[in-house]
Structures are given as structure tokens and as C-alpha cells.
Structure 1
Amino acid sequence: MSVHRKIEKFLRATDMPPTKFGRLAVRDPRFVLDLRRGREPGPRIVARVEAFLAAQQPAQARQGEAGQ
């Protein structure tokens, strides 16, 4: 799965605004908007996004358990 698709899936699951995601993940509030317009992130940015998404996994699991 592409990093762009992972981000979009994360944004839908968490209801996080794209600008907040960009700011938190790569310190660029326009990051997601630029991806939607065709920006291709380099390997270092992809690694930062992957690390951010991995760090958010436990928080998502806790939210899911609280809703049950």
C-alpha cells in the first residue's frame, strides 16, 4: 500500500485534519494537500510518515477498545 493511501486511511479512521497530520508527521501542514496534488515524497519523508503512523497504532487500538 502506498504511503498516500495509508495516510488517507489513517485520516478517515481518526478524523484528523490533513493539516494537523502534516504538521505532526513531517512538520509541513501542506504535506497531505500536496500529496493529493501529485507530490511524490522522498525516502526520508516516507520513513518519517511510517514512523509516525506506527507510533499512532497503540492509540488507535485504545480508542477502539473504549468504543466497545
Structure 2
Amino acid sequence: MLIRSIEKFLREHDMAPTRFGRLAAQDPRFVLDLRMGREPRPETERRVEHFMNKYAESVHAG
């Protein structure tokens, strides 16, 4: 489930949900909306997963 992956990502990277939403989905309410039951479109889900993977790679590489 996407929200579980995002919550784990937020904890691991000490990132605010609004910052994550702006960076990953261009929507500061994205995480809050997911917490309230929003279902993202498949392309949004892929884009967010891609963001998390690239962000994690850049943190570990740097």
C-alpha cells in the first residue's frame, strides 16, 4: 500500500508530509489526503514511488 511506504519514507528521511507532497506530487495535501482515504491514480502512484527511489538513492550516494 502506497501510504505505508510513504509513512516509512517520512520517518526514515525525517521529512514533513507537506514537503513530501510538494516534492513528489506537487500537492502539499497529498499525504494528508491519502491518510483520509484518497486513492491516487496509477500514474501518480508510479511517479511518487519513483521520487522515493531516486531520493533514497541520492541520499545514500551523497
TM-score in same-fold range (> 0.5): yes
**Runs of 4+, deviation exceeding 4 Å:** none
Worse-matched range after superposition: 5-14 or 54-63: 54-63
Instruction: Report the secondary structure of 1:45's partner residue.
Output: helix
TM-score (norm 1): 0.83
Letter in 2 for 1:22: G
| Residue aligning to 1:3 | 2
Structure 1 residues 1-68: aligned runs within 5 Å: 2-62=1-61
Instruction: Report the secondary structure of 1:51's partner residue.
Output: helix
Q: Alignment RMSD, CA only?
A: 1.3
The number of aligned residues is 62
TM-score (norm 2): 0.90
Letter in 2 for 1:14: H
Kindly, what percent of the aligned residue pairs are identical? 55
